[in-house]
Amino acid sequence: MRAVRFDGYGGPEVLTVGEVPVPRPGDGEVLIEVGAAGVTLPIVRLTRGGPDGGVPLPHVPGGEVAGRIVRLGSGVPERPGTGWQVGQRVTGLAFSGAYAQFAAVPVEFLDRVPDGVDDADAVALVRSGHVASAALHLAGLREGESEGERVLVTSAAGGVGHLAVQLARALGAGRVVAAIGGGSAKKEFLRGLGADRIVTYAEARAGLDESFDVVLDGTGADVQDSCLAALAPLGRLVSFNATGGKVDVNELRMTARTVIGLAMRHFAEHRRDVYDRHGQRLWELLASGAVRPAIHAVLPLEQAADAYRVIEARANLGKIVLNPMA
């Protein structure tokens, strides 16, 4: 099968497309014929070694995937009408290998895709939507119970951030502010999604003139420091896809503020009931028009390096998707 791979570390230029064996689904996994794969910042960082020291080489990257089940692994019996079946359309999260024509995906990270939703929209909505939903959940926002909550979202024009802006509004937040690196296109994009105000990171570093009950931070470093400075007493900051930043635990204690880290694999494992409920709610919000995933571009595997460059530059408006069938 055709797949994106890298044999050594570096920038986007290390990515190539070549033939690799079709993976065999393991225990508790299914094999998916990939119709769409989402390009995300954590996966992009892996080409440079990643935060944990790198991955075994050569490596086929990619986590977010949507497509059709073509084979069931052991421990996944086919039960028509009740379980996973060959031919079902699904979206899921692979441990690696999604930027390929086929990918093995654990069933615990699968969601069924409703009729009428294409693969690109499915991977853009559900995978990033799960992150945004989990972040808002950990921050204490609940539908019908969030009136008056002031929410700040960084990396707001990205795959997760643009959904977080919409979900915060759908949950009833009183005020939603979006933080970005800059650019008129991003500002117009976020105004169209319902953001009450758009601020730049330069403005955040200089000091914001309002405080927030909830911050969802996908940037980290000095931007996270600025967000903490704007976090109100009893406020909650949830970090997703962010690196760096400093946290003074004593200062948090004195102001009764909370900082929470989010890793979706752990959230899905330990809060399965919430994870499943969020997945169903995302489809409902899509059907009602309350939330809509934005697709920045759909590219063939051969343009994976171009996708990486856009992500590294934080220039995307919504999700970038690879289509192995193109």
List, in order of start, the domains of the chain with CATH numbers: 2-113+294-323 (3.90.180.10), 129-264 (3.40.50.720)
pLDDT at position 52 is 64
pLDDT at position 271 is 87
The average pLDDT across 115-123 equals 96
Confidence category of residue 256, pLDDT binned at 50, 70, 90: confident
The average pLDDT across 15-35 equals 96
Confidence category of residue 200, pLDDT binned at 50, 70, 90: very high
pLDDT at position 78 is 66
pLDDT at position 241 is 75
Per-residue pLDDT at 165 exceeds 90: yes
Give the pLDDT confidence of 69-93 residue by residue, as tens digits. 999 999 887 656 568 999 999 999 9
Per-residue pLDDT at 53 exceeds 80: no
Burial zone of 52 (CB within 10 Å; 0-12 exposed, 13-18 middle, 19+ buried): exposed
The average pLDDT across 229-247 equals 86
Per-residue pLDDT at 5 exceeds 90: yes
The average pLDDT across 244-254 equals 79
Per-chain mean pLDDT for the chain:
92
Task: Report pTM.
Answer: 0.90
Per-residue pLDDT at 235 exceeds 90: yes
Instruction: Give dist(CA 248, CA 237) in Å, integer.
Output: 13
Per-residue pLDDT at 102 exceeds 90: yes
